A and B are shown apart, each in its own frame.
Chain A
Amino acid sequence: NAGVTQTPKFRILKIGQSMTLQCTQDMNHNYMYWYRQDPGMGLKLIYYSVGAGITDKGEVPNGYNVSRSTTEDFPLRLELAAPSQTSVYFCASRGTPRTYEQYFGPGTRLTVT
């Protein structure tokens, strides 16, 4: 099992550009999450999904969009990138409502200049 994989590992964007961060899990987990982590801070939830076709906003959703067309994939879309979106982005998944452990991917380091 690869667990949770994220691509790309690093990316530099210019202000106003768009991109999609990819996240895939091979554990057949229903729950998936996107977090961002700014330097020296804890993670903040951007969006989450409880299953294919169902997504909802987290604490900091502005400037982002998500979709969940399959159980495995949960891409995060950045439209009109801004310097404030410079951060490390982590995707995570969880199996069922009764399991609490979230499995995190290795992260994508994004710089917007």
Chain B
Amino acid sequence: DAKTTQPNSMESNEEEPVHLPCNHSTISGTDYIHWYRQLPSQGPEYVIHGLTSNVNNRMASLAIAEDRKSSTLILHRATLRDAAVYYCIRVGGSQGNLIFGKGTKLSVKP
């Protein structure tokens, strides 16, 4: 069963870039890599997803290794509101089911 591995926690200073790593060495060649985040006492929210190429959107950037065994979510300027648990997720099956690990808890210091 393909799994994703993330550090349990990370710290960042406000207005500095944050690089959140994820290892997914057993991901299949056609599985997209998804990132969601969960703010305290809220449901998860979609951040970004990609397959092979690096991706950018208004929230973050996703850098995917050439061998697809790892990826990095980049928050370009962390704010206090970015403090959350960030999940690197693989999608299970054709029904789009999200398979969550424990995620990385990001703390942002002012």
Q: Across the A-B interface, how many residue pairs have beta carbons closer than 8 Å? A: 55
Given A100-B34, A106-B43: A42 and B95 interface contact (C-beta under 8 Å): no
B91 within 8 A of A: yes
Q: How far is the CA of A35 from the CA of B96 in the complex (A)?
A: 13
- When each residue 13-50 of chain B gets 1 if its CB lies under 8 Å from chain A and 0 otherwise, what string results? 00000000000000000001010100001111110010
Q: How far is the CA of A40 from the CA of B9 in the complex (A)?
A: 12
Q: How large is the interface on B (under 10, 10 to 19, 20 to 34, 35 or more residues)?
A: 20 to 34
Q: Considering only CB atoms and an 8 Å cut-off, how many residues of chain A contact the other chain?
A: 26
A41–B43 touching, CB < 8 Å: no
A-binding residues in B (CB < 8 A): 32, 34, 36, 41-46, 49, 87, 91, 94-103
